[in-house]
Structure 1
Amino acid sequence: MGKYFGTDGVRGRANEELTMEMAIRIGQYLGWYYSQNKKHARILIGKDTRLSGDMFELALAAGATSTGANCFLLGVCPTPAISYLVNKEKFDCGIMVSASHNPYYDNGIKIFNHEGIKMEEELLLQIEDYMDGKTELPLATGDKVGEYVSWEDGMEIYISWLKEIVPVDLSGMKIAVDLANGSAVSSAVETLTALGATVEAINNSPNGININLKAGSTHPEGLQRFVTENECDLGLAFDGDADRLIAVNSDGDLVDGDFILYILGRHLKNVNRLNKNMVVTTVMANLGLYKALDQSKIDYIQTDVGDKYVLEEMQKNNYYLGGEQSGHIIFYENAVTGDGLLTGLKLLECMKDTNKSVQELSEGLFIYPQLLKNVRVKDKNIVLHDEDIQNEIDAVAADLGEDGRILVRPSGTEPLIRVMVEARTDEICEECVDRVCSLINEKGYAAD
């Protein structure tokens, strides 16, 4: 990771950690970089619904046009729409203005290359050098100055594509959607309705400051109540930029990414579409998922936390299904990024094809109780290389045996050590996590 760009772009509080000037310079570098060998590069820009989205959208466009690019403004859209359209419509790159599940006062800038994949590290580091004034760029003059236009056709192309790749007839199904007052307002209801479903929407009135506010995939409690009170067949909860999904079954129970990987992994295997019989997960997937996949004779592989790493593994070996517990699910046969609406459609297609409820499709998966505690420390590396702490981690793992596991890892963005235990009961989880956290404190590694 660089100085500004993390695993999911630049992100921070609008006009504090992330400023308009930073956005202008990002736009300028991309406009110059892609216009070197042509008169005008073509850059696609989208945003979610947060208040500062307009400011950053126009700052990026101003920067890019000043160095020769033409910018196409997609407006409010899901992040996966940018990923798909950049590739489909032959843009040079795409930019999404969003801070995903963060509160409205944060914002972020994600950059995609011409294939719709998150931008390569090498180019991001070059952009950072320009942001820091280490390099200079010529501005466009005369007829080389770019322009920007609103691209109204973009969302229609994206929605049409979704309906083409999952042409499921949803007639007779009642579906509740929690749009998180975010990007999903641009596509979810329209797409599901066009496929024949009766759709009930909540948190579908964005005002710039209510995105993710007690809503969406990080706060699904309201959707759980709504599904049961209104006797819906399924609930779909999106995050702010609609690239991930948490579902709710008709009993009001949560169906997270682990459940979705299990359900769709088995379904794809049954219809001979699970390439190489493999499901890609991160190390944070629940132990119960692995045991259930074993029972279903489905192979799996683990990556570091982050959909970026899941995609890299899928690209390398042409695996079709992968994702995270948080609801980032990638269908590599169709897309190169997580897409909440595509995930929901695939889940509904599975229900229709099998004529089964999500509860029935989930049979055979026992989710182990999980406890995660963060310890703020002075130095993550010293903690992880302490022999006593490593010995205690090994001892906990031995005590848990095959009925649990412990995972201790550093945060990628904060001075934290994350201690996670899965076991048969909550009490065992608590005891095992405390053994490691207490030792970190006893040895004086915890920050004040």
Structure 2
Amino acid sequence: MGKYFGTDGARGRVNENLTLDMAIRIGQYLGWYYGKERHAKIIIGKDTRLSSDMFEMGLAAGATSTGATVYLLGVCPTPSVSYLIRKEHFDCGIMVSASHNPYHDNGIKLFNHEGCKMNPEVENAIEDYIDGKCTVPLAKDDAIGSVIEWNEGLEIYESWLKEIVNIDLSGMKIAVDLANGSATATAVETLSSLGATVEAIHNSPNGININTNCGSTHPQELQEMMREGNYDVGFAFDGDADRLIAVDEDGNLFNGDYTLYVCGRYMKKNNTLNKNTVVTTVMANLGLYHALRDNFIDYEQTVVGDKYVFECMQNNDYRIGGEQSGHIIFLEHAVTGDGLLTALKLLQIMVDEKKSLKELGKDLFIYPQLLVNVQVQDKNKTMESAELKEQIDQVAAELGDEGRILVRPSGTEPLVRVMVEAKSDELCHDYVYRIVDYIKEHKL
């Protein structure tokens, strides 16, 4: 983790932790770095936050000042930027978004020429440039770059999605929660063009309502809509549309664990599950592992973060992986999570299997889960405690195959996260607080 760039780009409160000057300098460095032999070709997308226009313009101004040609995609899903980089041979790409954060935050996500997250070495060099530790030459005269508003980019992206999942959704009624974010640019149009009747909520972004009591992090309104209406399925996106939480016809949530189970089983049946393996993070529910085992499907675990899921998939040529949050990667098609692609994959399975989402997920039992954060003085010292490890091992032994405990440090705060899954909420509570109370009592 760098000074400004974390695992998912630079992110912070606008004009405090993330400033226009930073955006200009990021654009300048990328324009120079990729333009050493010829004019760099850079694509920029954005979500619907009030500040996204400002950062888009700052990035474009910076990049053109060092000679780059900048293509503005406008409001778009993050995965569309990743795809178009590869499809149209851009040198790099930038997405202005803070994903599921509130509107007052924003972020700048960088992608390399392969559509993957930017190499840490380049991000480190950009940080040095932001801090004035190095300089880059500015373009002069006819070497100054230009900006192109590239409206057809999203049409190319949507056409690609429909080529991947070429299904007839005629007669299907779909409810979508677009989080007043990036999905407003693509979801309704794509699903409707495949024949579905689509009803959208939170489809009117005004710059400050992105993710506000809506979308994949707050799907309650969509759940109620599904219970009261006659819909086949519901889909909730996050702010930049790279995550998806589905909702079945009864209003029950269908998170990333369900998606990995249903898609993994379908891929195995159709001989497309390479190496018979699904990739998850350590936070996936124990019930998912039991269900995969019952279907003779292997799995690999990574630490939390889609970056690590992707690295595991890429290194081992696995085809599907993801997180409970709904960030699912289908590596045969894309190198990042894509909420709309995930929705289309689920719809394809519903159509092919002639089953509802509820029927597809009925054999997956999700174990009750409780996660409690404990504030500590030194999270690393806490995690090194032999006495704490003994307590954790004792809980793990008592849970056996019918539960699990996971204790890990926060990546950004002085916290230790204690998570237990067990057969009942009562057991989860008892075991979690056995560890939490131990940490507090012994001042670890």
Q: TM-score range by the shorter chain?
A: over 0.9
Within the alignment, does 1:426 sit opposite 2:425 as a pair?
yes
Q: Residues of 1 paired with 2:10 and 2:101: CA distance? A: 13
Q: Residues of 1 paired with 2:413 and 2:111: CA distance? A: 25
Aligned pairs for 1:92-131 within 5 A: 92-131=91-130
The Cα offsets for residues 264-308 of structure 1, whole Å up to 9 and x where unpaired, read as 111111111111111000000000000000000001000111111
The Cα offsets for residues 44-90 of structure 1, whole Å up to 9 and x where unpaired, read as 00000000000000000111111111111100000000000011000
| Corresponding residue for residue 308 of structure 1 | 307
Q: Which amino acid aligns with 1:24?
A: I
Q: Residues of 2 paired with 1:443 and 1:156: CA distance? A: 59
Deviates more, 1:236-245 or 1:224-233: 224-233
| Corresponding residue for residue 146 of structure 1 | 145
Q: What SS does the corresponding residue of 2:5 show, helix, strand or coil?
A: coil
| Corresponding residue for residue 380 of structure 1 | 379
Within the alignment, does 1:400 sit opposite 2:399 as a pair?
yes
| Corresponding residue for residue 33 of structure 1 | 33
| Corresponding residue for residue 263 of structure 1 | 262
Q: Which amino acid aligns with 2:429?
A: E
Q: What SS does the corresponding residue of 1:218 show, helix, strand or coil?
A: coil
| Corresponding residue for residue 293 of structure 2 | 294
Within the alignment, does 1:14 sit opposite 2:14 as a pair?
yes
Q: Which amino acid aligns with 2:288?
A: L
Q: Residues of 2 paired with 1:272 and 1:239: CA distance? A: 31
Aligned pairs for 1:159-198 within 5 A: 159-198=158-197
Q: Residues of 1 paired with 2:399 and 2:127: CA distance? A: 45
| Corresponding residue for residue 368 of structure 1 | 367
Q: Residues of 1 paired with 2:327 and 2:286: CA distance? A: 18
Q: Residues of 2 paired with 1:413 and 1:33: CA distance? A: 30
Q: What SS does the corresponding residue of 2:110 show, helix, strand or coil?
A: strand
Q: Residues of 2 paired with 1:21 and 1:436: CA distance? A: 46
Q: Residues of 2 paired with 1:194 and 1:85: CA distance? A: 21
| Corresponding residue for residue 357 of structure 2 | 358
Q: Residues of 1 paired with 2:443 and 2:287: CA distance? A: 35
Aligned pairs for 1:308-327 within 5 A: 308-327=307-326
Q: Residues of 2 paired with 1:291 and 1:364: CA distance? A: 10
Cα displacement (A) at 1:231:
1.1
The Cα offsets for residues 385-431 of structure 1, whole Å up to 9 and x where unpaired, read as 01111111111111111110000111111111111100001111111
Q: Residues of 2 paired with 1:411 and 1:22: CA distance? A: 27
Q: Residues of 2 paired with 1:272 and 1:137: CA distance? A: 51
Q: Residues of 1 paired with 2:141 and 2:179: CA distance? A: 44
The Cα offsets for residues 291-332 of structure 1, whole Å up to 9 and x where unpaired, read as 000000001000111111111011111111110000000000
The Cα offsets for residues 341-383 of structure 1, whole Å up to 9 and x where unpaired, read as 0000000000000001111111221000000011121111100
Moved over 6 A (4+): none
| Corresponding residue for residue 216 of structure 1 | 215
| Corresponding residue for residue 272 of structure 1 | 271
Q: Residues of 1 paired with 2:242 and 2:113: CA distance? A: 19
TM-score normalized by the length of structure 1: 0.98
Q: Residues of 2 paired with 1:433 and 1:56: CA distance? A: 43
The Cα offsets for residues 126-159 of structure 1, whole Å up to 9 and x where unpaired, read as 1111111111111111111111121111000000
Q: What SS does the corresponding residue of 2:280 show, helix, strand or coil?
A: strand
Identity over the aligned pairs, expressed in percent? 68
Cα displacement (A) at 1:251:
0.5
Q: Residues of 1 paired with 2:186 and 2:346: CA distance? A: 17
Q: Residues of 2 paired with 1:377 and 1:141: CA distance? A: 54
Deviates more, 1:139-148 or 1:340-349: 139-148
| Corresponding residue for residue 4 of structure 2 | 4
Q: Residues of 1 paired with 2:215 and 2:377: CA distance? A: 34
Q: Which amino acid aligns with 1:6?
A: G
Q: Residues of 2 paired with 1:69 and 1:58: CA distance? A: 14
Q: Residues of 2 paired with 1:399 and 1:409: CA distance? A: 19
Aligned pairs for 1:74-89 within 5 A: 74-89=73-88
Q: What SS does the corresponding residue of 2:34 show, helix, strand or coil?
A: helix
Q: Residues of 1 paired with 2:286 and 2:387: CA distance? A: 26
The Cα offsets for residues 174-194 of structure 1, whole Å up to 9 and x where unpaired, read as 000000000000000000000
Q: Which amino acid aligns with 1:3?
A: K
Structure 2 gaps of 5+ residues are: none
Deviates more, 1:145-154 or 1:191-200: 145-154
Deviates more, 1:191-200 or 1:432-441: 432-441
Within the alignment, does 1:201 sit opposite 2:203 as a pair?
no
Aligned pairs for 1:327-346 within 5 A: 327-346=326-345
Q: What SS does the corresponding residue of 2:132 show, helix, strand or coil?
A: coil
The Cα offsets for residues 29-55 of structure 1, whole Å up to 9 and x where unpaired, read as 1010000111x1000000000000000
Q: Residues of 2 paired with 1:331 and 1:397: CA distance? A: 33
Structure 1 gaps of 5+ residues are: none
- For the aligned residue pairs, the C-alpha RMSD in angstroms reads 0.7
| Corresponding residue for residue 226 of structure 1 | 225
Q: Residues of 2 paired with 1:388 and 1:397: CA distance? A: 14
Figure out how many residues of one structure are paired with residues of the other and give that number.
444
Q: Residues of 1 paired with 2:412 and 2:160: CA distance? A: 36
Q: Residues of 2 paired with 1:382 and 1:200: CA distance? A: 51
